[in-house]
Amino acid sequence: MTIQLGQVAPDFEAETTQGTIRFHEWLGSSWGVLFSHPKDFTPVCTTELGETARLKPEFDARGVKVIGLSVDTLDRHAGWDADIADTQGTAVNFPMIADPEKKVAALYGMVHPEADPAITVRTVFVIDPNKKVRLFMVYPPSTGRNFDEIIRVIDSLQLTDRAKVATPVNWRPGGKAIIPPAISDEQAKGLFPQGWKTDRPYLRWVDVK
């Protein structure tokens, strides 16, 4: 299945390390991050899960629920948790989906046969409270993800939804945003009474919080 930005994330029921969930119901009114791991007891995944657990307060502060997926079984997930806590210094504090039949992986296009038909690639989906897919990234099994970037994108999405702006290259919270070209100067006066700086008619910088 090919998933595109703006589409409703497919719903599913699955067994996780925190019980059986129905995905949309589990998300509720929260943002969500669904990310896949090629296999349990693998080194790169171990570091990623430890980092995600360490960053849970950051996700919580943004109203984001995180859930992982591996094609291994629940009992293997449980055994792996102990290794992650021991080697990464943080116990896994979010659910992990057990997907041995690859049903969820197939639904979300997480198995790329030309890479490896037996495991999932490192896919990340960011899903908004309307259950729409707002971002997806795909990494090869050999490359660990940058979770600072995932949080940065969530910050951008939440800001741009709220303030009707866009964010420029390498934007970080507190940096200047851009007024989209679709918003006229007249409309901008109402949206941004603090004013803005115009470099070009299509490039207008504004401070927003």
**Catalytic residue chosen out of the listed positions 34, 45, 49, 165:** 45
182 C-beta neighbours (distance < 10 Å), count: 8
Contacts of 105 (CB under 8 A, 6+ apart): 36, 69, 71, 99, 111, 120
Looking at residue 200, its amino acid is R
Q: Rounded distance, CA 106 to CA 121, Å?
A: 12
Q: Rounded distance, CA 82 to CA 103, Å?
A: 26
Q: Rounded distance, CA 138 to CA 176, Å?
A: 28
Catalytic annotation present for 45: yes
Task: Check if the beta carbon of residue 67 is closer than 8 Å to that of residue 16.
Answer: yes
Rounded CA Rg of the chain: 19
Catalytic residues: 45
